[in-house]
Protein backbone atom coordinates (compact mmCIF):
# COMPACT_ATOMS: atom_id res chain seq x y z
CA UNK A 1 0.00 0.00 0.00
CA UNK A 2 2.82 2.44 0.86
CA UNK A 3 4.57 1.75 -2.47
CA UNK A 4 1.35 2.46 -4.40
CA UNK A 5 0.89 5.79 -2.59
CA UNK A 6 4.51 6.74 -3.30
CA UNK A 7 4.10 5.99 -7.03
CA UNK A 8 0.86 8.04 -7.15
CA UNK A 9 2.58 11.04 -5.57
CA UNK A 10 5.50 10.79 -8.02
CA UNK A 11 3.06 10.53 -10.91
CA UNK A 12 1.17 13.62 -9.73
CA UNK A 13 4.42 15.59 -9.48
CA UNK A 14 5.38 14.60 -13.02
CA UNK A 15 1.98 15.68 -14.32
CA UNK A 16 2.28 19.05 -12.56
CA UNK A 17 5.78 19.60 -13.99
CA UNK A 18 4.57 18.68 -17.48
CA UNK A 19 1.62 21.04 -17.24
CA UNK A 20 3.86 23.82 -15.96
CA UNK A 21 6.24 23.25 -18.87
CA UNK A 22 3.35 23.52 -21.35
CA UNK A 23 2.20 26.83 -19.83
CA UNK A 24 5.69 28.19 -20.35
CA UNK A 25 5.85 27.02 -23.97
CA UNK A 26 2.31 27.97 -24.88
CA UNK A 27 1.16 31.21 -23.35
CA UNK A 28 -2.45 30.45 -24.34
CA UNK A 29 -2.75 28.10 -21.34
CA UNK A 30 -3.76 30.50 -18.60
CA UNK A 31 -5.66 28.17 -16.23
CA UNK A 32 -2.77 27.45 -13.92
CA UNK A 33 -5.11 26.21 -11.20
CA UNK A 34 -5.21 22.91 -13.07
CA UNK A 35 -1.68 22.36 -11.81
CA UNK A 36 -3.14 21.37 -8.43
CA UNK A 37 -5.71 18.96 -9.85
CA UNK A 38 -3.42 15.84 -9.79
CA UNK A 39 -2.28 16.70 -6.26
CA UNK A 40 -5.91 17.03 -5.09
CA UNK A 41 -6.75 13.65 -6.64
CA UNK A 42 -3.81 12.01 -4.82
CA UNK A 43 -4.85 13.53 -1.50
CA UNK A 44 -8.40 12.23 -1.96
CA UNK A 45 -7.09 8.76 -2.77
CA UNK A 46 -4.86 8.76 0.35
CA UNK A 47 -7.83 9.83 2.53
CA UNK A 48 -9.94 7.04 1.06
CA UNK A 49 -7.21 4.51 1.83
CA UNK A 50 -7.02 5.79 5.44
CA UNK A 51 -10.75 5.38 5.97
CA UNK A 52 -10.51 1.91 4.49
CA UNK A 53 -7.81 1.00 7.01
CA UNK A 54 -10.03 2.28 9.85
CA UNK A 55 -12.91 0.11 8.64
CA UNK A 56 -10.55 -2.85 8.44
CA UNK A 57 -9.36 -2.24 12.03
CA UNK A 58 -13.00 -2.07 13.24
CA UNK A 59 -13.73 -5.35 11.50
CA UNK A 60 -10.67 -6.90 13.16
CA UNK A 61 -11.89 -5.71 16.59
CA UNK A 62 -15.34 -7.20 15.92
CA UNK A 63 -13.71 -10.49 14.89
CA UNK A 64 -11.62 -10.52 18.09
CA UNK A 65 -14.78 -9.83 20.14
CA UNK A 66 -16.50 -12.81 18.51
CA UNK A 67 -13.44 -14.96 19.27
CA UNK A 68 -13.59 -13.90 22.93
CA UNK A 69 -17.30 -14.73 23.12
CA UNK A 70 -16.58 -18.15 21.64
CA UNK A 71 -13.78 -18.67 24.21
CA UNK A 72 -16.17 -17.81 27.06
CA UNK A 73 -18.75 -20.23 25.70
CA UNK A 74 -16.11 -22.96 25.47
CA UNK A 75 -15.01 -22.34 29.07
CA UNK A 76 -18.64 -22.56 30.26
CA UNK A 77 -19.02 -25.86 28.43
CA UNK A 78 -15.84 -27.17 30.09
CA UNK A 79 -17.18 -26.16 33.51
CA UNK A 80 -20.44 -28.00 32.84
CA UNK A 81 -18.48 -31.07 31.75
CA UNK A 82 -16.40 -30.96 34.95
CA UNK A 83 -19.55 -30.71 37.08
CA UNK A 84 -21.08 -33.67 35.30
CA UNK A 85 -17.86 -35.65 35.86
CA UNK A 86 -17.97 -34.84 39.58
CA UNK A 87 -21.53 -36.15 39.74
CA UNK A 88 -20.44 -39.29 37.90
CA UNK A 89 -17.59 -39.86 40.38
CA UNK A 90 -19.96 -39.43 43.32
CA UNK A 91 -22.34 -41.96 41.80
CA UNK A 92 -19.39 -44.30 41.16
CA UNK A 93 -18.36 -44.07 44.83
CA UNK A 94 -21.89 -45.03 45.93
CA UNK A 95 -21.84 -47.92 43.48
CA UNK A 96 -18.50 -49.10 44.88
CA UNK A 97 -19.90 -49.07 48.41
CA UNK A 98 -22.80 -51.22 47.28
CA UNK A 99 -20.39 -53.46 45.38
CA UNK A 100 -18.30 -54.01 48.52
CA UNK A 101 -21.36 -55.14 50.46
CA UNK A 102 -22.41 -57.46 47.64
CA UNK A 103 -18.92 -58.89 47.25
CA UNK A 104 -18.60 -59.58 50.96
CA UNK A 105 -21.87 -61.47 50.87
CA UNK A 106 -20.66 -63.45 47.86
CA UNK A 107 -17.41 -64.33 49.63
CA UNK A 108 -19.30 -65.50 52.70
CA UNK A 109 -21.55 -67.66 50.57
CA UNK A 110 -18.58 -69.07 48.68
CA UNK A 111 -16.72 -69.81 51.92
CA UNK A 112 -19.68 -71.79 53.21
CA UNK A 113 -19.74 -74.15 50.22
CA UNK A 114 -19.51 -77.74 51.38
CA UNK A 115 -17.91 -79.06 48.24
CA UNK A 116 -14.12 -78.69 47.93
CA UNK A 117 -14.32 -78.88 44.15
CA UNK A 118 -16.62 -75.89 44.00
CA UNK A 119 -14.32 -74.02 46.37
CA UNK A 120 -11.32 -74.67 44.11
CA UNK A 121 -13.27 -73.41 41.12
CA UNK A 122 -14.20 -70.28 43.03
CA UNK A 123 -10.70 -69.57 44.41
CA UNK A 124 -9.73 -67.31 41.53
CA UNK A 125 -13.02 -65.49 41.66
CA UNK A 126 -12.64 -64.99 45.42
CA UNK A 127 -9.09 -63.67 44.97
CA UNK A 128 -10.27 -61.19 42.36
CA UNK A 129 -13.13 -60.08 44.55
CA UNK A 130 -10.74 -59.58 47.47
CA UNK A 131 -8.50 -57.40 45.32
CA UNK A 132 -11.46 -55.27 44.35
CA UNK A 133 -12.58 -55.07 47.99
CA UNK A 134 -9.10 -53.97 49.08
CA UNK A 135 -9.09 -51.29 46.40
CA UNK A 136 -12.53 -50.05 47.40
CA UNK A 137 -11.63 -50.15 51.09
CA UNK A 138 -8.58 -48.00 50.35
CA UNK A 139 -10.85 -45.44 48.71
CA UNK A 140 -13.16 -45.52 51.73
CA UNK A 141 -10.21 -45.15 54.10
CA UNK A 142 -9.10 -42.02 52.27
CA UNK A 143 -12.60 -40.65 52.61
CA UNK A 144 -12.63 -41.50 56.33
CA UNK A 145 -9.33 -39.63 56.80
CA UNK A 146 -10.87 -36.59 55.15
CA UNK A 147 -13.99 -36.88 57.33
CA UNK A 148 -11.88 -37.16 60.50
CA UNK A 149 -9.91 -34.07 59.52
CA UNK A 150 -13.14 -32.13 59.01
CA UNK A 151 -14.50 -33.38 62.34
CA UNK A 152 -11.35 -32.13 64.10
CA UNK A 153 -11.80 -28.71 62.52
CA UNK A 154 -15.44 -28.63 63.64
CA UNK A 155 -14.39 -29.63 67.16
CA UNK A 156 -11.82 -26.83 67.31
CA UNK A 157 -14.40 -24.30 66.13
CA UNK A 158 -16.90 -25.58 68.71
CA UNK A 159 -14.34 -25.30 71.50
CA UNK A 160 -13.41 -21.79 70.39
CA UNK A 161 -17.09 -20.81 70.35
CA UNK A 162 -17.60 -22.25 73.85
CA UNK A 163 -14.57 -20.32 75.12
CA UNK A 164 -15.94 -17.13 73.60
CA UNK A 165 -19.33 -17.70 75.25
CA UNK A 166 -17.68 -18.29 78.64
CA UNK A 167 -15.65 -15.11 78.21
CA UNK A 168 -18.77 -13.18 77.24
CA UNK A 169 -20.66 -14.56 80.27
CA UNK A 170 -17.79 -13.61 82.57
CA UNK A 171 -17.67 -10.10 81.16
CA UNK A 172 -21.44 -9.78 81.64
CA UNK A 173 -21.12 -10.88 85.26
CA UNK A 174 -18.33 -8.35 85.79
CA UNK A 175 -20.53 -5.68 84.23
CA UNK A 176 -23.41 -6.56 86.53
CA UNK A 177 -21.24 -6.42 89.59
CA UNK A 178 -19.74 -3.06 88.61
CA UNK A 179 -23.12 -1.27 88.79
CA UNK A 180 -23.91 0.33 92.18
CA UNK A 181 -26.77 -0.94 94.30
CA UNK A 182 -30.21 0.39 93.44
CA UNK A 183 -29.39 0.89 89.75
CA UNK A 184 -30.46 -1.07 86.68
CA UNK A 185 -27.83 -2.22 84.17
CA UNK A 186 -29.53 -1.48 80.86
CA UNK A 187 -27.18 -3.82 78.99
CA UNK A 188 -27.70 -6.89 81.26
CA UNK A 189 -31.00 -6.41 83.14
CA UNK A 190 -33.87 -8.83 82.59
CA UNK A 191 -37.11 -8.09 80.76
CA UNK A 192 -38.96 -7.33 84.01
CA UNK A 193 -36.08 -5.33 85.56
CA UNK A 194 -35.97 -2.99 82.56
CA UNK A 195 -39.61 -2.01 83.14
CA UNK A 196 -38.52 -0.35 86.39
CA UNK A 197 -37.01 2.44 84.28
CA UNK A 198 -39.15 5.52 83.62
CA UNK A 199 -40.94 5.45 80.21
CA UNK A 200 -39.92 1.79 79.62
CA UNK A 201 -42.83 -0.62 79.19
CA UNK A 202 -42.92 -4.20 77.85
CA UNK A 203 -42.49 -3.18 74.19
CA UNK A 204 -39.53 -0.90 74.84
CA UNK A 205 -37.95 -3.42 77.23
CA UNK A 206 -38.00 -5.98 74.43
CA UNK A 207 -36.51 -3.41 72.04
CA UNK A 208 -33.62 -2.83 74.47
CA UNK A 209 -32.93 -6.58 74.70
CA UNK A 210 -33.02 -6.94 70.91
CA UNK A 211 -30.54 -4.04 70.44
CA UNK A 212 -27.91 -5.26 72.93
CA UNK A 213 -25.62 -6.41 70.14
CA UNK A 214 -24.60 -2.74 70.16
CA UNK A 215 -24.55 -1.85 73.91
CA UNK A 216 -26.04 1.38 75.25
CA UNK A 217 -23.20 3.65 76.42
CA UNK A 218 -24.96 6.84 77.57
CA UNK A 219 -28.36 8.45 78.05
CA UNK A 220 -28.15 9.99 74.57
CA UNK A 221 -27.94 6.46 73.08
CA UNK A 222 -31.46 5.76 74.43
CA UNK A 223 -32.87 7.66 71.44
CA UNK A 224 -32.32 4.45 69.49
CA UNK A 225 -35.42 3.10 71.26
CA UNK A 226 -38.67 3.69 69.37
CA UNK A 227 -40.70 6.51 70.92
CA UNK A 228 -37.83 7.87 73.07
CA UNK A 229 -36.87 11.40 72.09
CA UNK A 230 -34.61 14.00 73.69
CA UNK A 231 -37.35 15.17 76.07
CA UNK A 232 -38.00 11.68 77.45
CA UNK A 233 -34.26 11.05 77.69
CA UNK A 234 -34.04 14.05 80.05
CA UNK A 235 -36.86 12.60 82.20
CA UNK A 236 -35.15 9.19 82.33
CA UNK A 237 -31.83 10.80 83.24
CA UNK A 238 -33.51 12.71 86.08
CA UNK A 239 -34.69 9.36 87.49
CA UNK A 240 -30.98 8.41 87.68
CA UNK A 241 -31.25 4.63 88.08
CA UNK A 242 -29.67 3.45 84.81
CA UNK A 243 -26.16 1.97 84.84
CA UNK A 244 -24.30 1.84 81.52
CA UNK A 245 -21.32 -0.29 82.68
To 10 degrees, what angle do helices 37-111 and 116-178 make?
Answer: 110
Q: What angle do CA 238, 241, 245 make, to 5 degrees?
A: 120
The pLDDT value recorded for residue 214 is: 93
CA 39 to CA 45: how far, in whole Å? Answer: 10
Taking the chain (245 residues) in runs of 10, the rounded mean pLDDT of each run is 68 73 58 53 56 62 82 82 83 85 80 69 82 80 76 75 56 61 94 95 96 94 94 94 91
The pLDDT value recorded for residue 93 is: 81
Residue 19 and residue 34 in contact, taking contact as beta carbons nearer than 8 Å: yes
Q: Return the H-helix or E-strand segment holding 133.
A: helix 116-178
The pLDDT value recorded for residue 73 is: 84
CA distances from 233 to 209, 211, 218, 230, 242 (A): 18, 17, 10, 5, 11
CA 51 to CA 59: how far, in whole Å? Answer: 12
CA 197 to CA 211: how far, in whole Å? Answer: 17
The pLDDT value recorded for residue 230 is: 94
Q: How many Cβ atoms sit within 10 Å of the Cβ of residue 197?
A: 19
The pLDDT value recorded for residue 235 is: 94
The pLDDT value recorded for residue 166 is: 45
The pLDDT value recorded for residue 220 is: 94
CA distances from 44 to 12, 39, 48, 51 (A): 12, 9, 6, 11
**Exposure string for 77-111, b = 16+ CB within 10 A, e = fewer:** eeeeeeeeeeeeeeeeeeebeeebeebeeebeebe
The pLDDT value recorded for residue 151 is: 80
The pLDDT value recorded for residue 25 is: 60
Give how far the C-alpha of residue 171 lies from the chain's centroid of Cα atoms, to the nearest Å: 37
Amino acid sequence: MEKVLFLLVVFALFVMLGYWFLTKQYKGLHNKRLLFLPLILCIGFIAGCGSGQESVSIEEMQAENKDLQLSVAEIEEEVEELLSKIEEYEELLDERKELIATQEKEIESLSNEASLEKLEEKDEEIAQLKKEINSNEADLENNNVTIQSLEKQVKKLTEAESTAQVTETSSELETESSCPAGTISINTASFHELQGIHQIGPDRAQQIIDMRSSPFSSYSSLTRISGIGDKRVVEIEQQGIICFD
